[in-house]
A and B are shown apart, each in its own frame.
Chain A
């Protein structure tokens, strides 16, 4: 039985309190990208949680800070997100290149970025164009979630080489806590093996989806959600059934 689906707007409180399950949260985050008023409300309500956290303050165990400092000293920091203010899609700068996403360098690299975007759009459109197959409905839902990432105001594009061959293109949105992965030219695998995506963060490695087989040299798009700050995207070749933890060398690793 499906639980009832509440009006997204009423979920603002539960969202701020981290009281949404994964599905509700994903819906609300999609809603947020379209609702400036909600985003404003969320910011105000988050200040209340700061006070709730303050009231819970308790003496930390001795050495907590010292250990955190030690770990921090060997932990690379994340680059800032796109420094330009979010703008409507029509005038948005797509930042590309390494994880640093250097703001000054976007102009010369816009062409490859657009090419990458075209790859993903082509795959999405390809899905939609597959016509009246029974999978279509599922595909449409999937495509909708993918479109939410591609059109997110903070969408950022990254491309990376896969060490065993091929190029991966990733569009990620911190706001959507999700990314869309597509690749072209990946090496063919025996039937017993498949490519698997991972979100690799300070909290451990989380499976982020198996890649489907290629069509016309293109793989994906695959949606990976539940991004946490600090996560990196990894790709490995795993047994066809998938693995709970990476069992093979990482063949692409992208800082998000």
Chain B
């Protein structure tokens, strides 16, 4: 997977274990690299779960340095997140030039608000993903208002096939694909249409021809099942 292979030489020095909890050596910055909470307590749902953890820890540490204005750290962050950010935005927007524009806004927002990232409230990639998705959705909704109802034109099977099936072959994407396969059809469609299609749950309900209330419970149930299957997001 492309985004998981950042240039090691650049960021390796900043993210070795010895650095954890020591003051960041950035010029005149009193920021500290926050101590890294190791994920030892987490029980993987299955062998190989948590392959993202190393990158995750690295990304969280880098964001701590970005918050102090460290541009090298920001460049390293960009190398890690540009692909998932661009891919997520493009999944929602479809239009490449527009996706590029929004992806750039997302990267700049990561720079701007790095100080607001709080690892106690979730992983770095979840934080970045939230920014990317929300921006893409904001963009698509402001456009759909003007171009109402081309809604049905976008076949709703596209979201799942396009994005998940074509995801590059790697352990994480494979596990996600398998976990999505364990959902009911309605749960899976509700989750992927909302996430990759950028639809509201009421629009998803209209697309699938089911009650809005059913859709939002399926979204929640589907995400809970995915969370448990992926072995992510459990606290304590």
* Interface set of A (CB-CB < 8 Å, partner B): 3-4, 6, 10-14, 16-21, 24, 40, 43-61, 64-65, 67-69, 71-73, 75-81, 174, 202-203, 228-230
A58 touches B86 (CB 8 A): yes
Measured between alpha carbons, how far is A198 from B113 in the docked complex, in Å? Answer: 20
Q: Select A202's contact among B108, B167, B199, beta carbons within 8 Å.
A: B108
Question: B19 on the interface (CB 8 Å rule)?
Answer: no
Contacts of B213 in A (CB 8 A): 4, 6, 10
**Can you pick out 22 interface pairs between chain A and chain B where the beta carbons lie within 8 Å of each other?**
A10-B220, A13-B224, A14-B220, A17-B195, A18-B137, A18-B198, A40-B235, A47-B227, A47-B230, A47-B233, A50-B232, A52-B191, A53-B88, A54-B1, A56-B87, A57-B168, A60-B100, A61-B86, A64-B86, A71-B108, A72-B74, A77-B115
* Interface set of B (CB-CB < 8 Å, partner A): 1-3, 52, 67, 69, 71, 74-75, 78-79, 82-88, 90-91, 96, 100, 103-105, 107-109, 111-116, 121-123, 125-126, 128-135, 137-138, 163-164, 167-168, 172-173, 176-177, 191, 194-196, 198-202, 204, 212-213, 215-224, 226-227, 230, 232-235
B84 touches A69 (CB 8 A): no
Measured between alpha carbons, how far is A164 from B113 in the docked complex, in Å? Answer: 31
Q: Given A53-B84, A55-B176, answer yes or no on A80-B116 (Cβ-Cβ < 8 Å).
A: yes
Contacts of B75 in A (CB 8 A): 65, 69
Which of chain B's residues has its CB closest to A51's CB? B176
Q: What 9 A-B pairs come out closest when comparing CB atoms?
A: A13-B220, A47-B233, A44-B233, A13-B219, A58-B87, A68-B107, A53-B129, A19-B194, A56-B87
B226 touches A54 (CB 8 A): no
Q: Smallest CB–CB gap between B159 and chain A, Å?
A: 10
Q: Smallest CB–CB gap between B117 and chain A, Å?
A: 9
Q: Select A55's contact among B109, B172, B222, beta carbons within 8 Å.
A: B172
Measured between alpha carbons, how far is A57 from B222 in the docked complex, in Å? Answer: 22
Contacts of B129 in A (CB 8 A): 46, 49-50, 52-54
B84 touches A56 (CB 8 A): yes
Measured between alpha carbons, how far is A31 from B69 in the docked complex, in Å? Answer: 35
Contacts of B84 in A (CB 8 A): 53-54, 56-57
Given contacts A11-B216, A55-B164, 15 further A-B contacts (CB under 8 A): A14-B200, A14-B201, A45-B224, A48-B230, A49-B126, A50-B123, A53-B85, A56-B84, A57-B167, A64-B103, A80-B116, A203-B105, A228-B138, A229-B116, A230-B112
Q: Select B107's contact among A4, A44, A65, A81, beta carbons within 8 Å.
A: A65
Contacts of B196 in A (CB 8 A): 52, 56
Contacts of A20 in B (CB 8 A): 200-201
Q: Smallest CB–CB gap between B192 and chain A, Å?
A: 8
Q: Smallest CB–CB gap between A140 and chain B, Å?
A: 27
Q: Select A75's contact among B112, B164, B215, B216, beta carbons within 8 Å.
A: B112
Q: Smallest CB–CB gap between A63 and chain B, Å?
A: 9
B109 touches A230 (CB 8 A): yes
Q: Given A47-B233, A68-B111, answer yes or no on A53-B132 (Cβ-Cβ < 8 Å).
A: yes
Q: Select A67's contact among B69, B104, B234, beta carbons within 8 Å.
A: B104
